[in-house]
């Protein structure tokens, strides 16, 4: 059993903290708001009033805070936790806040305190099922001592020195950007009262077809499948709702349009969104500290 503090009880943090309590660890929890504390207290966690009280006499401190500013305030704010950290304490930052924030946190913590950069790959369902993948950067000794704690969340792997994990997570985020584009497209289609299967059939015609197929397959409750009749002479299709049948019928468009198409085609919009995401992460490039 490890005496640990868990700081940050948002959607992900509260689920992760709960799994650590269930694994038998002695967990003290703190959050800026209190709505997620009662369920964890019922499970066996100990809620405290300040970050300093949370980390006092703890062997391991895990933070799951959304921004670099929140991390800095937690350690160096009015109720700062940094001065009460034990010399042998290991701090594990598990949110994705970038390489610069990792370097700044290392500079602000006492030298005797080990820092692990440990962002997670996955979302709330994976956290609840204990299926998060954890990239860990930092001293190998600090990781090995608390490997069993991370394994309660599933699959930790040390990828290199401090900062390596943050850089790797940024690269992974670019790779999974198409999923974000698809989810946004599905949400928009739902607001426009488009059938989910109709939307999936259209998205399957884009360069994101492989990702679309995986997401569609992973849905636990799918609507009744639609039937499609392809138009061999044209690749650009439109859909209409048949009054004689409840299914969606696909057919080729008329030779001429009575009015111009509005908005971006699906492919152009997907490429724009993916390019925008890549550019945003490009601006966050950072040097990995050896």
Catalytic residues: 169
Token match 């959050």: residue? Answer: 31
Q: In Å, how far are 39, 152, 166, 272, 278 from 285, measured between CA atoms?
A: 39, 31, 10, 20, 11
CA geometry: angle 47, 51, 53, nearest 5 deg: 65
Closest CA to 58 of 31, 36, 74, 82: 82
Which distant-in-sequence residues (6+ apart) come within 8 Å of 112 by Cβ? Answer: 87, 88
Cα(59)–Cα(49) distance, integer angstroms: 19
Closest CA to 4 of 228, 129, 19, 135: 19
Q: What are phi and psi of 63, to 5 degrees?
A: -115, 140
For 87, how many CA atoms within 13 A lie in the half-sphere containing its CB? 1
Cα(12)–Cα(74) distance, integer angstroms: 18
């Amino acid at each position: 059993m490890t005496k640990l503090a868990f700081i940050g009880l948002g959607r992900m943090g509260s689920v992760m903290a709960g799994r650590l309590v269930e694994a038998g660890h002695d967990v003290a929890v703190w959050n800026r708001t209190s709505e997620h504390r009662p369920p964890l207290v019922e499970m066996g966690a100990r809620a405290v009033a300040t970050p300093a009280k949370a980390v006092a006499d703890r062997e391991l401190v895990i933070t799951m805070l959304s921004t670099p500013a929140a991390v800095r305030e937690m350690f160096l704010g009015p109720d700062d936790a940094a001065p009460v950290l034990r010399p042998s304490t290991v701090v594990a930052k598990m949110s994705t806040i970038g390489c610069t924030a990792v370097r700044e946190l290392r500079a602000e913590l006492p030298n005797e305190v080990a820092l692990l950069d440990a962002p997670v790959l996955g979302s709330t369902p994976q956290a609840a099922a204990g299926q998060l993948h954890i990239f860990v950067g930092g001293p190998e000794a600090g990781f090995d001592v608390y490997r069993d704690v991370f394994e309660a969340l599933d699959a930790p792997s040390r990828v290199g020195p401090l900062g390596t994990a943050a850089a790797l997570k940024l690269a992974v985020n670019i790779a999974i950007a198409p999923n974000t584009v698809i989810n946004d497209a599905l949400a928009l289609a739902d607001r426009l009262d488009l059938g989910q299967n109709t939307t999936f059939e259209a998205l399957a015609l884009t360069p994101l077809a492989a990702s679309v197929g995986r997401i569609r397959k992973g849905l636990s409750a799918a609507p009744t499948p639609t039937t499609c009749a392809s138009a061999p002479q044209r690749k650009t299709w439109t859909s209409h709702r048949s009054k004689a049948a409840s299914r969606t019928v696909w057919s080729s468009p008329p030779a001429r349009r009575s009015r111009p198409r509005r908005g971006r085609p699906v492919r152009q919009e997907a490429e724009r969104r993916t390019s925008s995401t890549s550019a945003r992460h490009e601006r966050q490039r950072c040097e990995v500290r050896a």
